[in-house]
A and B are shown apart, each in its own frame.
Chain A
Amino acid sequence: MRGSVGDAIIFGTGTALLIADWKKLIPLHMPERPQISIKTILFVMAISSAVLFFSERSGWQDKVLLLALAPVAVVMVYYRDHGPKPSSTPLMARTKWIWITLALIMAVSELFAYIFAEVYQDDLTYPTISILVNPVLDSPYGRAIFLIVWMAIGVGLLQIRRGRRK
């Protein structure tokens, strides 16, 4: 089972965190949104990019860095919500379901590819996304592109720029 134990731990921890937050089991004072200086953000991004790009792929440096980034990322999004939630419009609901459907189709496709690859021991006929992407990431160009995209998604999700504009 390719990396499935680690993935189960990661998503199990994430699910436990969500349930604990939902049931108010986390006895922490809900913080305000953290404000981090642009110099600190750029410094962290530069160090992270350098380690992830120049170190050996799957090396201990990558693991240490990503394990260090995990609590930082959680802290960046775990803050008190302010104001009323925007009500869902039909347009937004429709858009949300379209994207959810696409994500589910992709997930089910990969799940079946994984199952068939395990049953028939044939990664070439039934490749998962990891099987397709791994050779790309082994090249410096592929890794650089993935790194930029991953970092950009992170900056967007953590809403670093929006947080600073307020």
Chain B
Amino acid sequence: MTIPLIEYLVVIAAGIVIWLLGRFRPGLVAPFGALVARIMHHRNTRLALVVVWWWLGWHFFTE
């Protein structure tokens, strides 16, 4: 297993742990949905996130 792959897997595992903590320990870490709802109150954040989302589609479907 290569070093970058280990790094990706560690980050993904950490993300899953934090997501679970948000669901089952909401006093420790806010739920992910609440965080997204919070940051989507700002127009600039909405635009930035949508650009990233669209780019993901573009990158993986067309390149």
Question: How many residues of B sit at the interface, in one of the four size bands?
Answer: 35 or more
The complex places the Cα of A132 from the Cα of B1 at a distance, in Å, of 12
Are A125 and B50 in contact (CB-based, < 8 A)? no
Cross-chain pair count, CB within 8 angstroms? 139
Are B43 and A157 in contact (CB-based, < 8 A)? no
From A3, A63, A74, A129, contact of B47 by CB (8 A): A74
Q: How many residues of A contact B (CB 8 A)?
A: 63
Question: Per-residue CB proximity of A119-141 to B under 8 Å, as 1/0?
Answer: 00000111111101110010000
Residues of A within 8 A of B38 (CB): 86, 88, 92
The complex places the Cα of A79 from the Cα of B53 at a distance, in Å, of 18
Residue A41 at the chain B interface, CB threshold 8 Å: no
Are A126 and B29 in contact (CB-based, < 8 A)? no
From B26, which residue of chain A is reached at the shortest CB distance?
A: A91
User: Closest CB-CB distance, A2 to chain B, in whole Å?
Assistant: 8
From A58, A112, A150, contact of B63 by CB (8 A): A58
Which DSSP category, helix, strand, loop or mixed, fits chain B's interface?
A: helix
Where the two chains meet, the residues of A that have a C-beta atom closer than 8 Å to any C-beta of B are: 2-3, 6-7, 10-11, 13-14, 17-18, 21-22, 52, 57-58, 62-63, 66, 69-70, 73-74, 76-79, 81, 85-86, 88, 91-92, 94-96, 98-99, 102, 105-106, 109-110, 112-113, 124-130, 132-134, 137, 146, 150, 153-154, 156-159
Closest 7 CB pairs of A and B: A14-B51, A77-B46, A113-B4, A109-B7, A95-B30, A3-B63, A106-B11
Q: 13 pairs across A/B with beta carbons < 8 Å?
A: A6-B63, A10-B51, A21-B47, A66-B58, A66-B61, A73-B50, A81-B42, A105-B11, A106-B7, A127-B2, A150-B53, A150-B57, A154-B57
- A57-B61, A127-B4 given; name 8 further pairs at CB < 8 Å: A17-B47, A66-B58, A73-B50, A86-B41, A92-B35, A95-B35, A130-B59, A154-B53
